[in-house]
Structure 1
Amino acid sequence: MAQGKTSKTMVWILMALLILGLGGFGVTNLSGTIHSVGSVGEKDISVNDYSRALQEELRALEAQTGQSLPFAQAQAFGIDRLVLARLTTTRSMDAENARLGISIGDENLRQELMAIPAFQGLDGSFDRDAYSFAIDQAGMSEADFEDTVREDTARSLLQGAIISGLQMPAAYADTVITYVGEERDFTWAPLTAENLIRPVTAPSEEDIAAFYEDNQARFMLPASRQITYVWLSPDMILDQVEIDETALEQLYKDRDAEFNRAERRLVERLAFADEAAAQKALDDIAAGTTTFEALVEARGLALSDVDLGDVTEAELGAAGPTVFLTPAGAVAGPAETSLGPAIFRVNGILPAQNTSFEEARDMLREELAADRARRLIDTQIGDIDDLLAGGATLEEVADETDMTLGTLEWHPTATHPLAGYEGFRAVAAAVTEDDFPQVDVLDDGSIFALRLEGETEARPAPLEDVREEAIAAITAERATEALEKMVESLRPRLNDGTSFTSFGFTANEETGIDRGAFIPSTPRALLTTVFEMTPGELRTVPSAEGLILVRLNAISAPDTEDPEVARLKEGITAQLSSSIAQDVFQAYAEALQAMYPAEINQQALNAVHAQFQ
């Protein structure tokens, strides 16, 4: 008897603990006693609204990225803060509407509800059952949903009142269109040393030395790092790799689909309800009364909907022989398909590709040898690491392994083969003289280790190394100066409109050139200069070979009657007006948030976030 009483007592104790536990759970669960994650003014931000908005944002992000996003990562991106900020702005507007007394009456609410497609029946009228079902599925009561509709509509009224009437003046769009659409007619002539009557004098040794001293920035060598390295690539040990004929034959068989492809056709297929309809369509095409494209369009389809891509005869089934006897550009059929009788248009023929084993042997040998060489290198990494860890120098590693020893002056523009690897560049840029060499693996299976010997600051190249470059620069400067003097001597006649060709210059006429145009063999500064000039003005523009002489002939304003220009003007005005409206509304929303500070319940936020973990 005592034992029975003890058992009952224990049961009641366990039940009490269970009830207490469930009660505690209800405090933080979404269906528990916490109903809002915060408030703005007297408007609560409900747990359900926040949870629903957060879920929608996550789904949108996953649809955009094409992959599932863990909630922790979404938080790292600030998605939760973005959603909360948006809801805070919304509720601040609701608080302002409550202060101003802006709302909609029952009749307006009724019209809003009846206009929602989800609540309409098959005949397009409001369906009370559909309304109740949809609201229930959304986890809301009808009263809550109708309150939400009232607030959404009131917010729209408030927002419309703030941004209505904001319009960018037409003068702005006119200015932009004028700038973008104006065109220039001009004549230009390239002037080089060959246009000079007398050649420029060659620079003396003193001239070269002085130019070098005055322009050392033009002859600078980049800062560099002196690096000793050991390197082993698959190509270096190909001669150590033995490839037997059996392995090559097996690889050829494994890749048979790559080397031997059946003949294919680029085909479009249009199916019909019966063979008579298909035959009539084919006859109409043959008679020239219709086209394949017209038949497709009449079905409400696009050509992409009937495109089969490139197919083999076997893939076409029973229609294969018919289609493969049809030349490119012709229509075949009718032929039976899984969709019924169909006609086929052949857009192209891809001939069969047959590569024999003998033809593919060398390529296969090279690929297989490279693969095995990479594996051979992989087996050596551990031994080389052990040597370096044991204190071996790079020189000793090169003596005891297949690795090649070398040195290089490394800088970001170095042309050494190793400098072409991103992995090597990263290590070379970061290594210090205190670092011990270690093996690193490159993308192609190569391995390397390096040691920093020292660094050299940027410095001028020795004059003897850049002597020819200095002579060319001096000669070019002198030629440009001589060409400028020649143009100045001819300017009075040029200003009178004398043709460039009268002086033996090669003249090029350009008409209807806008700012985005490209003129081959000219510097970009030519067009920049042209659009700064007035009609009849003459200027020179420096070029790599000397000068470009240019005369502006005319300026053409955009045609305001052109429909494309009119559409562009409308687009610019609409875009800028929208941008202004957004800026004004953003400023208003910030003012409302300052007027109605948000109070956030972090415990409730954590409870919602826990549901997404």
Structure 2
Amino acid sequence: MAAGMKNLSKTFVWILMGLLMLGLAGFGATSLTGTVRTVAQVGNEDISIDDYVRELQREIRAVESQTGQPLQMSQARDFGLDQLALSRLTALAALDNEVGLLGISIGDENLQEEIVSIPAFQGPDGSFDREAYRFQLEQVGMTDTEFETDLRKESARTIVQDAVVSGVEMPSILTEVLTDFVGARRSFTVATVSPEALAEPVATPTDEQIQAYYDENQDQFSLPRTKKLTYTILSPNMLLDSVEVDEDSVLRLFEQRADEFQQPERRLVERLSFSDDAAAQDAMAQIEVGGTTFEQLVRDRELELSDVDLGDVTRDDLGDAAEAIFAAELDTVVGPLPSVFGPALFRINGSLAENNTPFEDAAPALREELAADRARRQIEAQSEDINDLLAGGATLEELAAETGMELGQIDWTRASQDGVAAYDGFRSAAEAVQDGDFPEIAFLEDGSIFALRLNETLPRRPEPLESARDRVAVAWTQVQTDKALEDHANAVLEQLQENGDFTTTGLPHRVENALTRTAFLEDVPSGFMPEVFDMELGSYRVVPGAGVALIVRLDELLPPAETDERRQVQQALAAQLNQALAQNIFDAYVRDAQARARPVVDQQALNAVQASY
């Protein structure tokens, strides 16, 4: 009987092995049968399974490095990384096929020069290291033959790319037009119509006007998605009165932090060191006669002020230089004085007086700090027992009754910041909690513990007029005020079109000269400058805004200023446009080569690779 069972087991194992081999054959038998080695053919070029796997891994690792999370194959497909890897390899294969048809290649000597010049393959002395070469290739899973073939192809592709894009330039007129557009300038006169310019303020809205505005603009008066939560919390502050702190502990803490409570007189100092006394004395002499400044000396050494800033220092920090520095006036330079880096000049930027806090003054804060620390440890010790009560089925209400935790409720939204919602940990938990979740203990930033329960989720909804009434009235008043300001500005504009004299308007006005499109002006609407550049020379325009209306007259059209900055921008723009045009031409060339190569994709092989990833 046992022998029969043994034979049956062997038969069953061979059946399983046969099914496995059959499945691997359909897969491509990547490591057993070796029947499928390519995923696509592009003209005379093949895309191997190894190349596809490497490219797919590269795309996946790029996403993982950005997100910091591992990426599954299913997610990679959702992101389209499988198609991205295949399309890139197909384009390269099409270009390789084109290179082959053109008969372009590099010689062995050129290939050798390329390899030995790669820093990763060089030893400590900078010469080619064969062991480093072999090691680096092993790290990426390539043989030397595969790498050299790829490098030969890459060099040939570069030759073709240079031939296609060499000498490509965008017409200079485009660069000039774009630069002129960005650098164009306008001079204009602008008058401000503020609420003070109105004959009388806008009247208080009636109930009918408030209701009508509310009905027409309910999207402005809505309540956000709200979670109605019940919570319990136990904070260190709730236990402070019950925590005892002995006087000896307070005194020990005071002594441990003596540097905080016994602070000697200090100076804010910058130090510039020199190689010898002669150089330091010469620099000090130049400062004294006004030939240079401390800042200039720092810049001459190609340093920043932050590099020579010592911060606040005591007499002990300064050593033998202390007496002269502490005796000097503020904002003066003294020296040369000795320092750990040789003779130096010191600039005194500030003075901090001695600050000694007696134990009696520091004790209350230290006692509270110790009490809070002990309260946090006490809460941490209780947290496991409290969590066990929740796990045993206790409600938050029962938990509060048994443990002394504080019970509360909150209508929580993402804008909530008050009370318990001021804690980041509580806001995160409130955001994550779902209907049906069981409460559990969690810690907050200050050592508090809490648990919460979702009672109800209210969707975004209109706010009742009763609670929104004041804001509706304010919004209505703002709209009516803006309309009145615009009407008044239009009336003044008609007057200006007749006499052109801004002084007769009684409005505050100013002249702005030679401003570009990107110029920043205070107290103007965000779209003000585009409005100005849309105007005709000598024309007037009213530009309405929130709580203001502006009357503008365009006085002058000016070309871009001929500056070094403009020339640099134009050169950079020309280089960018040339590069974009060259890239577009080369992309078109590759697409044409790919179309002529007629790529054939083995979808079964692709599926097998992705399934085994």
* TM-score relative to the length of structure 2: 0.70
Instruction: Write the deviation string for residues 89-114 of structure 1: whole angstroms up to 9, x where unpaired.
Output: 66664543333122356887799899
Amino acid across the alignment from 2:334: A
Q: Decide whether the 8 Å contact of 2:120 with 2:133 is kept in 1.
A: no
The residue that corresponds to 2:344 in the other structure is 344
CA deviations on 1:115-171 (whole Å, 9 max, x unpaired) are 999999xxxxxxxx986x545652499999998876554333211012223222223
The answer for the alignment partner of 1:574 in structure 2 is 575
The answer to whether the 8 Å contact 1:267/1:344 transfers is no
Code of the residue aligned with 1:321 in structure 2: it is: D
What aligned pairs does 1:365-376 form with structure 2 within 5 A after superposition? 365-376=367-378
- The answer to whether the 8 Å contact 1:40/1:95 transfers is no
- The alignment-based identity, stated in percent, is 37
Alignment of 1:137-176 (within 5 A): 137-139=132-134, 153-176=155-178
1:599 CA displacement: 9.2
**SS state at 1:510 partner:** strand
Map 1:40-439; keep pairs closer than 5 Å.
Answer: 93-104=95-106, 134-135=129-130, 137-139=132-134, 153-258=155-260, 263=266, 266=269, 268=271, 270=273, 272=275, 278-288=276-286, 302=303, 307=308, 309=310, 320-322=319-321, 325-326=324-325, 329-333=333-337, 342-348=342-348, 355-356=356-357, 358=359, 359-439=361-441
Check the 8 A contact 1:279/1:334 in 2, yes or no: no
Note the C-alpha offset of 1:46.
11
Residues 553 and 236 (structure 1), Cα distance of their counterparts in 2 relative to 1, 3 Å cut: farther
Which residue of 493, 498, 505 corresponds with 1:496?
498
Shift of 1:569: 0.7
Q: CA deviation at 1:381?
A: 1.8
8 Å contact 2:489–2:550 — kept in the other structure?
no
- Measured in 2, the distance between the counterparts of 1:544 and 1:395 equals 50
Q: How many residues align?
A: 550
Structure 1 residue identity aligned to 2:280: L
Cα distance, 1:504 vs structure 2: 1.9
CA distance in 1, matches of 2:259, 2:206: 70
Deviation at 1:578, TM superposition (A): 1.6
| Distance in 2 of aligned mates of 1:587 and 1:486 | 58
1:43 CA displacement = 7.1
Distance in structure 2 (CA, Å) of the matches to 1:70 and 1:415: 31
CA distance 1:395–1:110, change in 2 (3 Å): closer
The one-letter code of the counterpart of 1:580 is L
SS at match of 2:343: strand
- Counterpart Cα distance in 1 of 2:117 and 2:518: 49
TM-aligned CA deviation for residue 565 of structure 1:
0.8
1:547 lines up with 2:549 in the alignment: yes
How far apart in 2 are the matches of 1:90 and 1:239? Answer: 74
Tell me how far 1:441 sits from its aligned partner: 2.1
- Structure 1 pair 483/346, CA: closer, same or farther in 2 (3 Å)? closer
**Which residue identity is paired with 1:281?**
A
**What's the CA shift for 1:508?**
3.2
Partners of 1:229 and 1:585 lie apart in 2 by 63
**Structure 1 residue 591: deviation in Å?**
5.5
What RMSD in Å do the two structures reach over aligned CA positions? 5.2
Question: Which residue number in structure 2 is paired with residue 3 of structure 1?
Answer: none
Return closer, same or farther for 1:501/1:330 CA change in 2, 3 Å cut-off: same
Whether the aligned pair in 2 keeps the contact of 1:408 and 1:416 (CA below 8 Å) is no
Cα 1:363–1:180 change in 2 (3 A) is farther
Change (3 A) 1:89 1:357: farther
Distance in 2, matches of 1:391 and 1:142, equals 66
SS of 1:225's equivalent in the other structure is: strand
Q: Partner of 1:325: helix, strand, or coil?
A: helix
Where structure 2 has 5 or more consecutive residues not aligned to the other structure, the ranges are 1-29, 138-142
From 445, 448, 451, the counterpart of 1:446: 448
Distance 1:97 1:236, change over 3 A: same
Deviations 1:8-56 (CA, angstroms, capped at 9, x unpaired):
xxxxxxxxxxxxxxxxxxxx99xxx9xx999987779999999999999
Conserved? CA contact 1:313–1:321, under 8 Å: no
SS at the partner of 1:329? strand
Contact 1:229 1:451 in 2 (8 A): yes
- What is the CA–CA distance in structure 2 between the aligned matches of 1:230 and 1:402, rounded to whole Å? 9
Give the Cα–Cα distance (whole angstroms) in 2 for the partners of residues 575 and 303 of structure 1.
33
Relative distance call for 1:553 and 1:208 in structure 2 (3 A) is: same
The CA deviation at 1:352 is 7.9
Q: TM-score, normalised by structure 1?
A: 0.70
Quote how far apart the aligned CAs of 1:497 are: 4.7
- Asked if structure 2 preserves the Cα contact closer than 8 Å seen for 1:266 and 1:348, the reply is yes
How has the CA–CA distance of structure 1 residues 440 and 165 changed in structure 2, closer, same or farther, with 3 Å as cutoff? Answer: same
Secondary structure at 1:524 match in 2: coil
